[in-house]
Amino acid sequence: MTNPLLADWRTEFQLPPFAQISDADFAPAFDTAMAEGRAAYNAIADDPAPPNFVNTIEAMEQADAALDRVAGVFFNLSGSDSNPAREALQRELSPKLSAYSSEIVNNTTLFARIEDLWERRDALELSAEQARVLMLYRRMFLRAGAALEGQDAARMTSIKSRLATLGTQFTQNLLADERDWMMALDDLAGLPDFVIASARAAAEERGQDGHVITLSRSLIVPFLQFSDRRDLRERAYAAWVARGENGGATDNRAIAAEILALRAERAALLGYENFARYKLETEMAGSPDAVRDLLMQVWTPAREKAMADAARLEAMLRADGHDGPLEPWDWRYYAEKLRRAEHDIDEAALKPYLSLDAMITAAFDCANRLFGLEFRPLDVELYHPDARAWEVTRDGRHMAVFIGDYFARASKRSGAWCSTMRGQRKLGGEVRPIVVNICNFAKGSPALLSYDDARTLFHEFGHALHQILSDVTYGFIAGTSVARDFVELPSQLYEHWLEVPEVLSQHARHVETGAPMPQDLLDRLLAAQNFDQGFATVEYVASALVDLEFHDGPPPADPMQKQAEVLDALGMPRAIRMRHATPHFAHIFSGDGYSSGYYSYMWSEVMDADAFEAFREAGDPFDPTIAGKLERHVLSAGGSDEAEALYTAFRGRMPGVEALLKGRGLAA
């Protein structure tokens, strides 16, 4: 029988035929796809015809068609619905795929063809997009080690293979710690109904009676906000921050140290002083000093705000009869009490107005008003019963399939992300994307979101729009294939539409009565936007600075000691921890994506604050002229130009940090 992963997909919109695919199909499909890709690359390298853009670059664009298709299914499933078979296969595949990639970039004949095109680029009469793609291919090969020879080339291949294995192991260790821990609750004091319902659902999923707390952020954070039991808050918090640091087979500390050492060696082989300088060379920031300067401009006012808030929260702690200092497991509890006192915001009263279905509709409605997109539910078989799909159209034209997978479960890694099962391209015929948003919201009937959850939904949908609206010829630069510190601009910008009063007044309706959110509650919610911003900014910036210092210098033999030294030098407030401590810092250790780059969220925030200001200046959050410029220069452009050029084309200039500080309520 033909492997369903390799057969023609005759499903609607050529979606993967999930019902026909078994885990046993993946390994042979990967082997076949890599063999096809290897043959295609060798044919390009050995082509007797002189190199031109079509027979070299465009041929390379299409060489991995089968592999892209198989990997698009597998890696989406391994993150969102893992199981022992998929985890074992991922461990087996990581070094294989790394070796395959190294084989391509180490093909000296293939690289010689790219170099020949580069040297003759002015005479080739390339379009602007083609010139950009040629430059990026050459840069990718060089930065992967294509110019290395002999022992250096062999060592680079070995390093990349080992890094791929370690990244997979780090991720799976973290998933195991998150999946295996739970705390039975025999005291529900202080917990609102929505937390109790989520704890009951978590218990049912794990075959337990009663209620349990797990390490899913959507469950543990509200538990820390509301539980009156300080001892239980401490126990749950200790488990949450100890992920990847529990000793035994799932401990990530030695893995982190080895990853940092290998990254430093990799950068040195390529002639860079350290890994941060290698990594940041191609980003908007350009250098570690530029990153550090931005982060410290934000750190100083954020720390001052957090220290002032800590004093107020500690006074509340002492008023409750506790002698000790404010602890990290106390912060959210007393911050929630302070928020209710200052802004009269009761999370339990707010959540019925923020149902999951209503917030999905709100995100879709904003996309319709801004970009003319329409969303039609699809009745198709997907990889998990919780996943849902929509066809995205504009003026009757098919634009994409969008898949939303919103609920936390034991088989899903933590966090929220956007990915594609198929990217956009025009080469070889128009191909529209299959875009996936993954979240980890607490399941309920109906599912109710916190305001932070709703922001996460809008954030990930902003990434999805970057893919849905992509309009380039070459898949190599499609969608989110941009500088890491630019990729968060569309997602963080889209969060602003959740703050638009008319969006909330239209869509934030009580899940039972259908009544709109009362105006006074809406006003109080928007007034409380920057509440506890000192805490949120400090925990994020601390993580970003630790990431930077890990990579901007010699690799630390003991990352935990280095982490402590960096935080001590910063004067980290006692009752706040890093958002992501080293053993569970998946952004930087599960792969190279955000390594030396966790600062990217803040770099992009400088732009997103300024970009939304363009709509404010126009007097309309849905101004069609500004929306058209945003789509043309950012959302549809992919990586077709340098990020700074794309943003400047949209806004006319680059922004400063002032809009960010103002937006976070940290401006002087």
Task: List Cα–Cα distances, 476 to 13, 448, 470, in angstroms.
Answer: 22, 38, 12
* H or E element that contains 391: strand 388-394
Largest CA distance in the chain: 83
Return d(Cα 273, Cα 553) in angstroms, integer. Answer: 8
Joined tokens for residue 468: 């849905």
Q: Let me know: does 433 contact 400? Beta carbons within 8 Å.
A: yes
Distance CA 430, CA 422 (A): 12
Tell me how far CA of residue 103 lies from CA of 21, 34, 270, 655, in angstroms: 29, 11, 17, 42
Residue 369 corresponds to which tokens in the numbers above?
A: 């008003």
- Among 225, 231, 232, which residue's Cα sits nearest to residue 337? 225
DSSP state of 55: I
Question: At how many degrees (to 10) do helices 84-105 and 150-180 cross?
Answer: 160
How far from 567 is each of 308, 542, 560, 562, 639, CA to CA, in Å? 19, 7, 11, 9, 35
Map residue 388 onto helix, strand or coil.
strand
Q: How many CB atoms lie within 10 A of CB 191?
A: 23
Angle at alpha carbon of residue 367, lines to 362 and 372, rounded to 5°: 130
| Positions marked catalytic | 460
Q: Which of 471, 434, 464 is nearest to 366 (CA)?
A: 464
Dist CA 211 CA 200 (whole Å): 4
Which residue in the block uniquely carries the two structure tokens 């543990």? Answer: 220
Q: Answer yes or no: are the C-beta atoms of 557 and 278 closer than 8 Å.
A: no
In our burial notation (b when 16+ CB lie closer than 10 A, e otherwise), range 195-231 reads bebbbbbbbebeeeeebbbbbbbbbbbbbbbbbebbe
User: Coil, strand or helix: which one is 598?
Assistant: coil
**Calpha distance 450→198 (Å, rounded):** 13
Enter the DSSP assignment of 662.
H
Task: Take residue 317 and report the two structure tokens written for it.
Answer: 């702690």
Rounded Cα distance between 532 and 515, Å, is 29
528: helix, strand or coil: coil
CA distance 498 to 488: 17
Look-up of token digits 């319709």: 368
For residues 378 and 392, the answer to whether their CB atoms sit within 8 Å is: no
Residue that the structure tokens 């890599």 belong to: 34
Q: Does an H or E element contain 420, and which?
A: strand 417-422
Give 515's DSSP letter: P
Spatial CA neighbour of 124 closest among 44, 50, 61: 50
Smallest Cα–Cα separation from 295: which of 547, 482, 489, 494? Answer: 547
DSSP-derived secondary structure for 332-347: HHHHHHHHHHHH---H
Q: Do residues 467 and 435 make contact, with C-beta atoms less than 8 angstroms apart?
A: yes
Whole-angstrom Cα Rg for the chain: 25
Q: How many residues appear in the chain?
A: 668
